Amino acid sequence: MGEEQQNPELSVSKETVADMAKVSNALSAPNPSWFTPKRLLAIFCVINLLNYVDRGAIGSNGVNGSPRTCTKNGQCTSGSGIQGAFNLSNFEDGVLSSAFMIGLLVGSLVFASLAKSVNPFRLIGVGLTVWTLAAAGCGFSFDFWSIIICRMLVGVGEASFISLAAPYIDDNAPAAQKTAWLAIFYMCIPAGVALGYLYGGLVGDHFGWRYAFFGEAILMLPFVVLGFVMKPLQLKGFPPVESRKALTGVDTAVSEVKGINADDSTGKDGGIMSIKEEFVDQSSKGPSSSKCGFINLNQLSRFLKDMKVLLLDRVYVVNVLGYIAYNFVVGAYSYWGPKAGYSIYHMKDADMVFGGVTLACGILGTLLGGFVLDRMTSTIPNAFKLLSIATFLGAAFCFSAFCCKSLYGFLVLFTLGELLIFATQGPVNYICLHCVQPSMRPLSMAMSTVAIHIFGDVPSAPLVGVLQDHLNNWRKTALILTVILFLAAIIWFIGIFLRAVDKFNEDSEIPITIADNSNITPLLDEKIDERTKSSIRT
């Protein structure tokens, strides 16, 4: 009779074990999603393109405009664009560009740290929301300080995407095409800036500079919605999103079973506890519960340790130092290029010319760099070789271009220079992603972004503005700026001789049990194992 009374209890225990087994199988299976790797790459490319359309638009003559000027006779012009509307000097105009970068720097560190405790895909959705509202705010700005604040917020919004998108792409790209996929993604930087010149020139001249920002916000809005509607994707090196919720459910189930049948062996050392331990292994290394208000002290400690690892990694440091020098020049080119071209060669459509050259060279050069590195076999030493050679030759062509008196000679030489310069985008980011463990990739990308901006194009825009105010000669200013590209080539050349280890397949700090599949199969696998499907359905 006692055994018959225990049968219902045993049946409940078996059902509970079966439910927990389903949860375990579901977590260990690839994430079924309509978004295949190629679709994810396409979506991220469009978002990245819009980010840099904004950068190009604010640097275009149609949006940025020209300052108010007065002749000795007392005749004054009202100026045009942002400079004319707020009567900005070249230095203040350069600060406008740097304000965006300040928001990007702060946001990159914040979002990279939050990725340890919040699903990175959701963070991208939050960041794009901030970006969209801030872009619209730029259109409504009423003075210098209001647009400065809005530009900072645009930078904060972009930070979530810049630091987290590349690791997702690196996870899902085919092994033999990782650099090519990264090159396609980073191709959107020069392409976006170039389209921004064209977009800013057309919209600014025909409708006014404010409408350029309104248009950007409208174009980004669908991706904001997508960031919150789409099921969050898992990132390699981080615990599964569902693990914490699943652990709570397991604790409840185990308590019920223990209450029903305390003597059941499965409640001690059997299947239930082993399944629970799997979840504990995953979640115990996740975010700590030791918090003080909004500050997670353990998370801060982990962040400082990770920072120490990055700063002691010679490969990472040399790569970023070269990237800083490179970005110092490229950032100034993108912001002051149309004005320099207009002044030196009297280009009537400087936005269109620089936009067209940058668009063509950005697309071809970036793709070429990625495919060449894959052909060479994607390794860190090979990436340094490609970086140093391409940058040195590109610097030589650009320097020769600004020495040339003829407009056509300038265009030919500058086109060749930009083609080589943009070939660096895939290799330099490949090194950032592969010289660190998977769980540190968001921080690696964030710190790279912080460094190249805070020491690169943040100071370069206002410094070049000050230099031009002093020299009043755009040709000399451009030549002095271009010399720094040779320094970037020398720094990357040093990287060839460093001992480099590709850590992409190294274990992260998270034990590989349930999350191990992220190391084996793409996170957006197009073909899900039928046996896994049936186990989830039963």
- The pLDDT of residue 6: 46
When pLDDT is averaged across residues 408-434 and rounded to a whole number, the result is 90
Count of alpha carbons within 13 Å of 366, Cβ hemisphere only?
22
**pLDDT averaged over the chain?**
76
Phi/psi of residue 495, nearest 5 degrees: -60, -25
Q: How far is CA 213 from the centre of its chain?
A: 21
More confident residue, 100 or 294: 100
When pLDDT is averaged across residues 60-78 and rounded to a whole number, the result is 73
For the whole model, what pTM was predicted?
A: 0.65
Residues 510 and 19 sit within 8 Å (Cβ to Cβ): no
Q: How many CB atoms lie within 10 A of CB 328?
A: 26
- The pLDDT of residue 491: 96
80-94, 110-124, 218-232, 276-290: the lowest-pLDDT one: 276-290
pLDDT in tens, 13-24: 545 445 544 444
Phi/psi of residue 77, nearest 5 degrees: -105, 150
- The pLDDT of residue 426: 87
Angle, vertex CA 317, rays to CA 312 and CA 322, nearest 5? 170
% of the chain exceeding 90 in pLDDT: 22
- The pLDDT of residue 417: 93
If pLDDT is split at 50, 70 and 90, which confidence band does 178 have? confident
Residue 299 has pLDDT above 80, yes or no: no
- The pLDDT of residue 47: 92
Angle, vertex CA 145, rays to CA 144 and CA 148, nearest 5? 90
Residue 254 has pLDDT above 50, yes or no: no
When pLDDT is averaged across residues 465-478 and rounded to a whole number, the result is 88
If pLDDT is split at 50, 70 and 90, which confidence band does 239 have? low
DSSP string, 404-433: --SHHHHHHHHHHHHHHHGGGHHHHHHHHH
When pLDDT is averaged across residues 490-501 and rounded to a whole number, the result is 92
Q: How far is CA 141 from the centre of its chain?
A: 27
pLDDT in tens, 354-399: 777 877 887 888 888 888 988 888 899 999 999 999 999 999 999 9
pLDDT in tens, 157-168: 888 887 788 888
H helical segments located in 264-406: 271-284, 297-312, 314-345, 350-376, 380-403
- The pLDDT of residue 493: 96
Angle, vertex CA 464, rays to CA 396 and CA 52, nearest 5? 80
Determine the Cα–Cα distance for residues 385 and 492; give it in Å rounded to an integer: 8
- The pLDDT of residue 389: 95
Residues 89 and 466 sit within 8 Å (Cβ to Cβ): no
Residue with tokens 């002095």: 480
- The pLDDT of residue 439: 80
Determine the Cα–Cα distance for residues 218 and 397; give it in Å rounded to an integer: 39
10-24, 120-134, 280-294, 309-323: the lowest-pLDDT one: 280-294
Residue 477 has pLDDT above 70, yes or no: yes
316-320, 347-351, 388-392: the lowest-pLDDT one: 347-351
When pLDDT is averaged across residues 224-244 and rounded to a whole number, the result is 67
If pLDDT is split at 50, 70 and 90, which confidence band does 281 have? very low
When pLDDT is averaged across residues 332-359 and rounded to a whole number, the result is 78
